[in-house]
Structures are given as structure tokens and as C-alpha cells.
């Protein structure tokens, strides 16, 4: 098994990654003690810049092993790409402080797109995964899933903006699909699949 560390303590994300990685002979583990490590400032203007920044920063804590970090979010065409890299802090940036950031982010997004007609509600979930070793990025993997922004939340699975993201191919929101489906069609699932292909290729090359 190839050992890969992930700069995350998100149980859902780790479980998704582990399930996909098993078939490739990859052992996915969270970075030990990540909760006690001060997080780096995410100063990148793109998802890829933030993913690289996090991967390089945290990879110094796993001496010589490969570590991956991801950055992802929602971009709405009619809002010139907002919320973008500020997806997780969208409401906070607007001065809305709450213990329920997902709900606040969704509410703010609905308010800001209220006047956008149905024909112009295209959006995309974007994910960038960076693989690093000893503070240096080895490669980045980028993917997106395109959909339509709903006018009200649908579904109770998922997290973040999933209930507002309608995926035409499956005729459901991302909060209405199973974990398996999401891993296959989502931005993060597709970016992680590119990473696993790279791991497979590099193993064969050695």
C-alpha cells in the first residue's frame, strides 16, 4: 500500500477519499495532530494557489511522505465567479457572524442571486488538489462539476452549497445524491481520481 496523508480532519472527505483510494492500493490517513497545527493563511486568489499553499505548509510535518491538500468552492457565473475562493467564508466576509456558516452562506447567495433569471443561473463547483513532499508541490489536479443554482435548498445529504447545486445529468441536487454518486461526478471526486491515476502511473514508472 502507498501511504498518502491528507491535510484535513473532515471525516466525510476522508471517508470519500479512502473509499476511492482502496482500489488503487493507496492508504489514506489524516495528517496526525492537524487540529493542533496553526492553519496557514489562505492568501491565494485561485483554488490551485490555496491548495498548493496548504500542501506545501503541511507536508513539512510528515517527513518525506506525500501529503495532499485541496481547496474547493462554488463559482456562480452571474456573480462573476463569486463566492469562489471565499466560499467557506462568504457570509463572514459580509459581516455575518454565526455558528451555522453553511446556512448563512446559502442564504446570502440566494439573496444576491434573487434577481438572476433561470436562464442565467449556471454555476460550477471547482476543486484543486495539490500533492506535496517536504514543502514542495509535486503536481496539482483540477476538476469541476457544472450545474445550475437553485432558488431553494433541496435534499439533506452533503454539506456547504450542495443543497443549492442542481446537477442536470442526474436531475438532482448534490444534497440528493448518494456518496457513491457524488464521488463519481463531483469536482472533488474527479480531481481525486486524477491524483490516483498519477499515483498509479508513477508507481509503474519506478
User: Looking at the annotation, which residues are catalytic?
Assistant: 71
Share of the chain residues as helix, strand and coil, in percent rounded to the nearest 5:
45, 25, 30
Q: How many helices (H) and strands (E) does the chain have?
A: 6, 7
Cα dist from 124 to 89, 145, 204, whole Å: 17, 6, 34
Q: Please confirm whether the linkage preceding 84 is cis (ω < 30° from 0).
A: no
CA distance 22 to 140: 21
Amino acid at each position: 500500500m502507498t501511504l498518502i496523508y491528507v491535510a484535513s480532519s473532515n471525516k466525510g472527505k476522508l471517508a470519500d477519499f479512502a473509499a476511492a483510494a482502496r482500489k488503487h492500493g493507496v492508504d489514506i490517513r489524516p495528517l496526525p495532530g492537524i487540529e493542533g497545527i496553526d492553519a496557514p493563511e489562505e492568501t491565494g486568489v485561485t483554488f490551485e494557489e490555496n491548495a498548493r499553499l496548504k500542501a506545501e505548509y503541511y507536508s513539512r510535518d510528515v517527513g518525506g511522505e506525500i501529503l495532499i491538500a485541496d481547496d474547493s468552492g462554488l463559482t456562480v457565473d452571474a456573480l462573476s465567479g463569486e463566492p469562489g475562493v471565499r466560499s467557506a467564508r462568504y457570509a463572514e466576509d459580509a459581516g455575518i457572524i454565526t455558528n451555522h456558516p453553511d446556512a448563512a452562506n446559502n442564504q446570502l447567495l440566494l439573496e444576491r442571486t434573487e434577481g438572476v433569471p433561470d436562464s442565467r443561473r449556471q454555476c460550477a463547483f471547482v476543486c484543486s488538489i495539490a500533492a506535496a513532499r517536504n514543502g514542495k508541490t509535486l503536481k496539482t489536479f483540477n476538476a469541476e462539476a457544472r450545474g445550475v443554482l437553485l432558488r431553494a435548498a433541496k435534499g439533506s445529504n452533503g454539506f456547504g452549497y450542495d443543497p443549492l447545486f442542481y446537477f442536470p445529468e442526474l436531475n438532482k441536487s448534490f444534497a440528493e445524491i448518494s456518496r457513491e454518486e457524488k464521488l463519481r461526478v463531483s469536482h472533488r471526486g474527479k480531481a481525486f481520481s486524477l491524483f490516483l491515476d498519477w499515483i498509479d502511473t508513477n508507481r509503474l514508472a519506478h
